[in-house]
Amino acid sequence: MTTRILLVEDDQRLANLTAEYLRRNDFEVNIETRGDIAEKRILSEQPDLVILDIMLPSKDGFDICRNTRSEYPGVILMFTARDEDFDQILGLELGADDYISKPVQPRVLLARIKALLRRHPDQEERKGQAAELVFGGFRISQASRTAELHGRSLDLTTAEFDLLWLLALHAGTTLSREALLQELRGIGFDGLDRSIDARISRLRKKIGDDPDNPRRIKTVRGKGYLFSRNDWD
């Protein structure tokens, strides 16, 4: 099946050029220029992936991401001219799966989209990589892409699940930010990217970890993060 992308971008020329390039690479692309209409289309059309600009008429990308995330399980890639840590972290905190700054080379955008889609639920199911991990009262299933804590389902975004699964898969081992970024996004850590830290912060809240003294996802100073095999009862 053709992957459906909704490109939300108010620069019509940029939107047309981007859409044309993605269509040549076998994606089905629809364009929306207004933020308020884009929000409705995301929920009604349920595309496989949304490329979401931040600065939009009527409603900005942050509000759209916040308002749709709970009812839209697909991939959200923030597309912005702003190159500030605050914007990037805020987008991730609101549930975006990744961000990319404009201007961007088409091949870079294509590579980022493909990397995100490789971790989409449908893609994982086709690979047949069914697996389940259990740690005390915590259970995570790659097959169904669900996680439960003491029988309560955790509401995770695609990016949050991917990170949590990767950490759980290597429980008891410290994973560096560079290793995590390389596996999840196919890029190395440049010392400035805060996306992993932002996702860890959100995950800790959802798994009931103490942010001041985390026991389930621990910070190993100067090395990275460690998923504990214990402390889940």
**Residue 218 and residue 132 share a domain:** yes
The Cα–Cα gap between 113 and 5 comes to 10
Please give the structure tokens belonging to residue 75.
């991939």
Residue span of the structural domain in which 45 resides: 4-117
Q: Are residues 10 and 104 in the same domain?
A: yes
Same domain, 87 and 49: yes
pLDDT per residue over 106-151, tens digit each?
Answer: 999 999 899 888 776 554 443 334 478 889 999 999 878 899 999 9
| Total structural domains within the chain | 2
206 and 110 in a single domain? The answer is: no
Q: Which residues of the chain fall below pLDDT 50?
A: 123-130, 188-191
Domain boundary among 59, 90, 117: 117
Q: Is residue 122 part of a domain?
A: no
What 177-180 contacts at long range (C-beta under 8 Å, 24+ apart), as own/partner pairs, is 177/224, 177/225, 179/224, 180/224, 180/225
